[in-house]
C-alpha cells in the first residue's frame, strides 16, 4: 500500500498549498493574493511588460495570467497602456498603489520562505532547491502518455 507521505507528488502538492495559504493570510489585509506574486516580482522595479512576457515569467498558461491581470486591474494594482509596437498587446505595469505594496510583498515572501525551510540545515536547503529544480525540469519534459 502506498503511503502518501512517501509520494513526491502528494507531498509537493501539500507543501504548495501550505505555502499559498501562508502567503494569502499574510497579504489578505493588503488586498494581495498568492497568484499575483509573479506579477509583483516581474514589475516591481517599474517595468512595463506584455501579458506574454508575464505569462512566461510566471510559468503559467496565458488564460490564467489574463484572469489574474483582470483582477489586479479591477483592484487598482496594475494598469495597461497600448503597446506602440504591437496593436494586439498592451504594456502592463504596476500603478503607484501597486508599487507601494512591493515591499510588503517581498517581506511576506521572505518571511514565509524562511519559516518553511527553518527546519533544514543550509546544506539541506541548497539540496532541496536543487532537487526541486531537477523535478521541474523532468516533469516539464514527460509526455502525456506513459
Binding site for its own copies (CB under 8 A): 1-2, 4-20, 22-23, 25-26, 34, 37-38, 41, 45, 57, 59-60, 106-113, 115-120, 124-125, 127-129, 131-140, 142, 144-146
Q: Closest Cα partner for 37 from 96, 113, 119?
A: 113
Q: Is 61 in the site for DNA (CB under 7 A)?
A: yes
- Of 13, 107, 111, 126, the residue at the interface with DNA (CB under 7 A) is 13
Q: Give buried/exposed letters for 54-82 (b at 16+ CB in 10 A, else e).
A: bbeebeeeeeebeebbeebeeeebbbeee
Smallest distance, Å, CB 86 to DNA?
Answer: 5
What cell was used for 114?
524562511
Apex 105 CA angle, 15 and 63, nearest 5: 70
Task: Give the H or E element holding residue 91.
Answer: strand 90-94
- Of 26, 40, 68, 101, the residue at the interface with DNA (CB under 7 A) is 68
For cell 516539464, name the residue: 140
By the 10 Å C-beta count (0-12 exposed, 13-18 middle, 19+ buried), 48 is classed as middle
Q: Which is nearer to DNA, 83 or 125 (CB)?
A: 83
Smallest distance, Å, CB 125 to its own copies?
Answer: 8
Q: Which is nearer to its own copies, 92 or 112 (CB)?
A: 112
- Of 88, 123, 143, 146, the residue at the interface with DNA (CB under 7 A) is 88
Binding site for DNA (CB under 7 A): 13, 17, 21, 25, 33-36, 50-52, 55, 58, 60-64, 66-69, 71, 83, 86-90
Amino acid at each position: 500500500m502506498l503511503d502518501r507521505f512517501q509520494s513526491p507528488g502528494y507531498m509537493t502538492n501539500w507543501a504548495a498549498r501550505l505555502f499559498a495559504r501562508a502567503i494569502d493570510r499574510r497579504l489578505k489585509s493588503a488586498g494581495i493574493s498568492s497568484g499575483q506574486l509573479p506579477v509583483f516580482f516581474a514589475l516591481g522595479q517599474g517595468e512595463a511588460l506584455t501579458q506574454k512576457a508575464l505569462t512566461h515569467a510566471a510559468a503559467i498558461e496565458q488564460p490564467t495570467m489574463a484572469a489574474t491581470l483582470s483582477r489586479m486591474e479591477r483592484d487598482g494594482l496594475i494598469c495597461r497602456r497600448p503597446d506602440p509596437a504591437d496593436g494586439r498587446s498592451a504594456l502592463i505595469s504596476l500603478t503607484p498603489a501597486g508599487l507601494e505594496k512591493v515591499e510588503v510583498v517581498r517581506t511576506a515572501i521572505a518571511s514565509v520562505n524562511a519559516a518553511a525551510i527553518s527546519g533544514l540545515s543550509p546544506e539541506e536547503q541548497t539540496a532541496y532547491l536543487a532537487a526541486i529544480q531537477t523535478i521541474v525540469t523532468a516533469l516539464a519534459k514527460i509526455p502525456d502518455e506513459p
